[in-house]
Amino acid sequence: MIQLTRILGYNIYNKSKKELIESVVETEEKINIVSGNPEVLYNGLQDKELYQCFNSKNTIIIPDGVGVVHTSKLLKQGVKEKIAGIEVMEAIIEHCANNEKAIFLLGAQQDVVESCALNLMDKYPTLKIAGIHNGFFNLDDCQNLIDKINNSKPFALFVAMGSPRQDQFIMKYMDILQAKIFMGVGGSFDIFAGKLNRAPSWMIKTNMEWLYRVVKEPTRIKRLAAIPKFMYLAVKDSKKNKLKK
């Protein structure tokens, strides 16, 4: 049974990364994995369709961000651990490489997705990459892309177009796409392509990865505003619900 923590109407996954991977790779049904950082979840509160997508029965929201972890503890519903989306992506890729399952990479610029694919094949020689496609296309007119994905029959489809665009694509086409695992992975292709680096391991372990990313990409600083907004709304909503009881 999936263990969940409830925050602002969202069901946040509340088990370990290991338990998550073990459950999703054996799935018989389609699963959409959402990297639930405060910015993504806050944006969902402003977009009814996105909110419904994140709360659909086939979606698992992982606590990807210290803001979500701290919020869960403030509400005395602490999640088991922070689960980084890029680590989930790589764990699924490793599973696919070891079990003759294919993946499809969709998103980023053409040179980035190509480098991402090549580097992943170097790291996992048995990995089957069913296909790649850049992220520059019309979401409402992409039948050729849908056909390309379906003809390749991937087990996992990774979509790197940033939120909400990647979520909108998955939400719109998940029912007709022939894949089992769907995951929006933001800028992960840039990291696997070698264009960007993850923070040093000590920063990841001490929950300081966000600071490293802001230093490396200063434009991200504006996006940090979503963290206090999300935490404030969560605490406010929790108090309101307690009063109702």
Question: How do residues 111-154 score in pLDDT, each as one tens digit?
Answer: 999 999 999 999 999 999 999 999 999 999 999 999 999 999 99
Structure confidence at residue 199 (pLDDT): 82
pLDDT class of 48 with cuts at 50, 70, 90: very high
Q: Which residues contact 152 (CB under 8 A, 6 or more apart)?
A: 102, 104, 130, 131
Can you tell me the distance from the alpha carbon of 198 to that of 243, in angstroms, rounded to the nearest whole number?
43
150-206 tens-digit pLDDT: 999 999 999 999 999 999 999 999 999 999 999 999 999 999 999 988 888 998 888
Q: What is the pTM for the complete model shown?
A: 0.94
pLDDT tens-digit map of 77-115? 889 999 999 999 999 999 999 999 999 999 999 999 999
Query: Sign of the CA dihedral 103, 162, 110, 192?
Result: negative
The C-alpha R_g of the chain, in whole angstroms, comes to 18
- 148 or 212, greater pLDDT: 148
